């Protein structure tokens, strides 16, 4: 099962609402089950460099079916996945990427958010993921 | 002046309407004046390979401030811009990329569309560009 | 719907049989519906350079849901898709890549073959695709 | 001497058996003495992101003729090979990549496994390497 464009638009809309609540400007990306981009939005004035990070967070979350921050915990110096970020054309492993599931719990895609603190990035991604 | 996310969403919405009129499934990308992605949508069932092409068409149109097909005319064997496609991480120079202008005629971004014949791609991109 | 590893192994096995029939040595790649690699085999003595070509043919066939040779017909100088090969990290658009469908006709992946003449490449890919 | 496709298939088959024993889903790659891919299999439901990691582990093990985890010990901050992962288009230096030797002890290739904990990855790779 793959996320639809309507579902992806819903996730981006919910994420944007949350970003406005937090008074932040975000880049928001949604990928499908194959880790390919479905929808993207960069809010006016959001960091340019967060464009690529948002997309990489979404891909990373789908690549390993977990929140990006969990991978970052394991990829620290001395950790079991040290420097995993060198794979797949570049991973982003700090918080802000979250898998998106359907009602049955099947992962149908992922959302990635970048543009503020990682706590805010995660909150906005979470709002998007939950809306689907 | 830069295109806003609201304007980019408007362009994508108009492009999707045109794509449905033509019974096609499109990838639609909008970049800003800096040639950086602002918004993107892949319609359900659209070609996966057109994802990258739509983005590259939008970037190419803004890189040279002209329709992508005009560059393709010049990049043929023996032409003055032969194999210009090797620059900028890969250009796409057939129709479907169009600059977006504001009321004063200033270029504020570009739209790129891919997923059908190049004629259809151009028609859909044109509908998007005109809506802004 | 996605191709399974068992189906991919079946396709590679049928392709290898056909390659032996033709007295050729092939690289054979199978990707899933998301254009991600599922299985690969390089026959002993097959061209090293065909490794990447086989994978790119499989991806190209899934990216556009058609045989790779059909894209190559359109990407010639003066053609509507001239230099499309610059997209998606490099396409291969001569024969040897074929979509794989399930019984209902849904595309569930693709096979790419490289190592001999393009006619032989296509014959071997076709044997693999039909076996699923 | 180079690993043959039959030997690589044997290694993948043994690795898959071990992966099933451990109730894991793995990506398994085998490269030859030239560090070029010979055979690959992604088990149904295995992480997408482990595709690239499995291949990079196999290459890394052959690039330096040692288990990938040994390189990771040396590439930590302050270590003699700090950030060696930036070379060769990206190395993966945590466990799961192992050289494959023939009866005489000559290295004829390498196997890389990714999809679970690094301990499981290493166990599965080891089962594959020993089978040859």
State the pLDDT confidence band at D108, using cuts at 50, 70 and 90: very high
Residue C35, chain A, CB below 8 Å: the answer is: yes
Q: Is A9 helix (H, G, I), strand (E, B) or coil?
A: helix
Examine the pLDDT at D1 and tell me if it is beyond 90: no
Of all residues in chain A, the one with the smallest CA distance to D90 is A86
Q: What angle do CA D27, C31, D44 make, to 5 degrees?
A: 40
Among C9, C38, C42, select the one facing D38 at the smallest CB separation: C42
Does D have 3 or more CB contacts under 8 Å with B? no
Among positive and negative, which fits the CA dihedral A17, A21, A27, A30? negative
> For chain C, what is the radius of gyration of the CA atoms?
13
Are residues A35 and C33, on separate chains, in Cβ contact within 8 Å? no
B vs A contact (3+ beta-carbon pairs below 8 A): yes
A84 in contact with chain D, both atoms CB, cutoff 8 A: yes
Taking CB atoms and an 8 Å limit, are D4 and C44 in contact across chains? yes
D117 with A64: Cβ contact below 8 A: no
Contact B36 A43 (CB under 8 A): no
pLDDT in tens, B23-52: 999 999 999 999 999 999 999 999 999 999
Do A4 and B40 lie within an 8 Å CB cutoff? no
Tell me if D76 and A78 make a contact (CB, 8 A cut-off): yes
Q: Are the C-beta atoms of A84 and A71 separated by less than 8 Å? A: yes
Closest CB from C65, C83, C89 relative to B85: C83
**3-state secondary structure string across B87-115:** CCCCCCCCCCEEEEECCCCCEEEEEEEEC
Helix (H) or strand (E) holding A60: helix A50-64
Q: Among A1, A32, A33, A34, pick the best mutation site for testing chain C contact (most C Cβ within 10 A).
A: A34
In a 13 Å sphere around the CA of D27, the CA atoms on its Cβ side amount to 24
Judged by a CB distance cut-off of 8 A, whether residue A22 touches chain C is: no
Give the burial class of C131: count Cβ atoms within 10 A of its Cβ; 0-12 exposed, 13-18 middle, 19 or more buried. middle
First-last CA distance in chain A: 14
Answer yes or no: do B41 and A38 touch at CB < 8 A. Answer: yes
The chain C residue lying nearest B84, using CA atoms, is C83
Do C80 and B117 lie within an 8 Å CB cutoff?
A: yes
CATH top-level class of C5-28+39-109+123-131: alpha beta
* Residue pLDDT, tens place only, C49-67: 999 999 999 999 999 999 9
pLDDT for A6: 98
C28-50 per-position pLDDT tens digit: 999 999 999 999 999 999 999 99
Q: Which residues of B touch A51 (CB under 8 A)?
A: 36-37
Share of chain D above pLDDT 90, in %: 99
Average pLDDT of the residues of chain B: 97
The set of chains that have 3 or more CB pairs under 8 A with D is A, C
- In this predicted model, what pLDDT tens digit does every residue of D13-53 receive, in sequence order? 999 999 999 999 999 999 999 999 999 999 999 999 999 99
Cβ contact B86–C87 (<8 Å): no
**Residue in this structure with the two tokens 């990506």, named with its chain if needed:** D27
Among B95, B37, B42, B125, which Cα is nearest to C83's? B95
Tell me whether residues A33 and C34 touch, CB distance under 8 A.
yes
Fold of A5-103+110-131: Beta-Lactamase (3.30.450)
Residue C113 pLDDT greater than 80, yes or no: yes
- Could you say which residues of chain A have pLDDT below 50? none
CB within 8 Å: A36 and C33: no
DSSP count for chain C of H helices, then E strands = 4, 4
- At residue B97, the pLDDT reads 98
d(CA A5, CA B128): 18
Are C36 and D44 an interchain contact pair (Cβ–Cβ within 8 Å)? no
Could you tell me the residue ranges of all domains in chain A? 5-103+110-131
Q: Report the gap between the CA of A62 and the closest CA in chain B (Å).
A: 17
pLDDT digits (tens, 9 = 90+) for C75-102: 999 999 999 999 999 999 999 999 999 9
- Any CB–CB contact under 8 A between C70 and chain A? no
**pLDDT score recorded for residue D117:** 97
- Out of B49, B86, B94, the one facing C88 most closely (by C-beta) is B49
Whether pLDDT at C106 is above 90: yes
Arithmetic mean of pLDDT, B69-90: 97
Whether chain A has a CB inside 8 Å of the CB on D102: the answer is: no
Query: Is the model's pLDDT at C8 over the cut of 80?
Result: yes
The answer on pLDDT for B16 being more than 80 is: yes
Tell whether B79 lies on the interface with C, counting CB pairs under 8 A: no
The residue of chain C with its CA nearest to that of A35 is: C34
ipTM over 0.90: yes
Q: How far apart are CA B4 and CA A45, in angstroms?
A: 9
Chain D positions touching A65 (Cβ under 8 A) are 47
With beta carbons under 8 A apart, name residues in chain A contacting D72. Answer: 82-83
**What is the per-residue pLDDT across A60-80, written as a single tens digit (0 to 9) for each?**
999 999 999 999 999 999 999
Contact of B19 with B124, CB cutoff 8 Å: yes
Length of chain D in terms of residues written? 132
Provide the pLDDT for residue A1.
74
Q: Is 90 exceeded by the pLDDT of residue B1? A: no
Contact between A34 and A65 under an 8 Å Cβ cutoff? The reply is no
Contact in structure between D91 and A84 (CB atoms under 8 Å): no
Which chains contact C through at least 3 pairs of Cβ atoms less than 8 Å apart? A, B, D
Task: Enter the CATH code of domain D5-131.
Answer: 3.30.450.150
Q: Do A32 and C35 touch (CB under 8 A)?
A: no
């Amino acid at each position: 099962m793959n996320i639809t464009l309507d579902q992806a638009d819903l996730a981006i809309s919910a994420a944007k609402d949350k970003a406005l609540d937090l008074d932040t400007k975000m880049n928001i990306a949604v990928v499908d089950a194959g880790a390919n981009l479905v929808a993207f939005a960069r809010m006016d004035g959001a960091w340019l460099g967060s464009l690529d990070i948002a997309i990489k967070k979404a891909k990373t979350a789908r690549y390993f079916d977990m929140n990006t921050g969990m991978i970052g915990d394991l990829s620290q110096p001395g950790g079991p996945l040290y420097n995993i970020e060198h794979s797949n054309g570049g991973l982003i492993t700090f918080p802000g990427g979250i898998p998106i599931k359907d009602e049955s719990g099947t992962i149908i895609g992922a959302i990635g958010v970048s543009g503020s603190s990682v706590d805010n990035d995660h909150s906005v991604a979470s709002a998007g993921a939950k809306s689907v």
